[in-house]
Structure 1
């Protein structure tokens, strides 16, 4: 069984892919960033008059990306507690990791998901964090 998940409760993907895909009892989320649903605004980003990114707030972006992951999970019939693996991409590991790690500990309290955090040079849009998640679900009933 394979089901594609698309939802209006999370920001639209920035490419030709679904929010998630269920294969058997596993749910694979596409990369989820911190854009706000319906507006595509990136919380905490500050731009100059010419539209260049001047600064960002990693705490605001973390809170939004966690909310977006939750929205995709719920649209898929999953719960936060179903997460089994989380891969996190940060564009400024040395600066942002302490804040992200503190918030992660709060949001993931009681969730025993495996986690990998990678420092990367950039993401396709002016975001500082993106999550790639896998959840384990109970068998689907038809």
Structure 2
């Protein structure tokens, strides 16, 4: 097996090692980012939904930046929402703060029943700049 080119955001490596997964992996010019939630530094959920969504994007952006990328390079997004019928509008009013201008990335939204105490999770695939393509 090829050695995985893992990207860790500053200050959170221990959290990922404790939970036994990589936050992101560079491969073939792309960055595959694990689902990001609105977790505080200790991994605990942010209780306020809007703040949780903002924190999920902040955590995502830290990984993208650590890879030399940004949300502008994101081409595919998957979001997971617990009880989307009651939470979607609250979540989606926060999204434009981070989403950028059109054309937007592709999007798949999935309603789920459980996210380990969280209400929102976002995972992405981004194109890496040539200098960081790994």
Fold equivalence (TM over 0.5): yes
Moved over 4 A (4+): none
Shift of 1:8: 3.2
The answer to whether structure 1 residue 105 and structure 2 residue 96 are counterparts is: yes
Separation of aligned partners in 1, 2:110 and 2:66: 27
How many residue pairs end up in the alignment? 128
Matched residue, 2:6 = 4
Distance between the aligned counterparts of 1:22 and 1:7, measured in 2?
13
Say whether residues 1:36 and 2:48 are aligned partners. Answer: no
Q: Equivalent residues in 2 for 1:22-101 (5 A)?
A: 22-37=26-41, 39-44=42-47, 57-101=48-92
- Relative contact order, higher structure (CA 8 A, sep 6+): 2
Consecutive unaligned residues of structure 2, counting only runs of 5 or more, are none
The structure with the largest alpha-carbon Rg is 1
Distance 1:139 1:109, change over 3 A: closer
For the residue of structure 2 that corresponds to 1:126, the secondary structure is coil
The gaps in structure 1 that reach 5 residues or longer are: 45-56
TM-score of the two chains, using structure 2 as the length reference: 0.84
Q: Following TM superposition, by how much is the alpha carbon of 1:93 offset from its aligned partner in structure 2, in angstroms?
A: 0.3
* RMSD across aligned positions (CA): 2.1
Aligned counterparts of 2:74 and 2:49: Cα–Cα separation in 1:
22
2:120 paired residue number: 129
| Residue in structure 2 matched with residue 19 of structure 1 by the alignment | 23
Q: Greater share of helix residues, 1 or 2?
A: 2
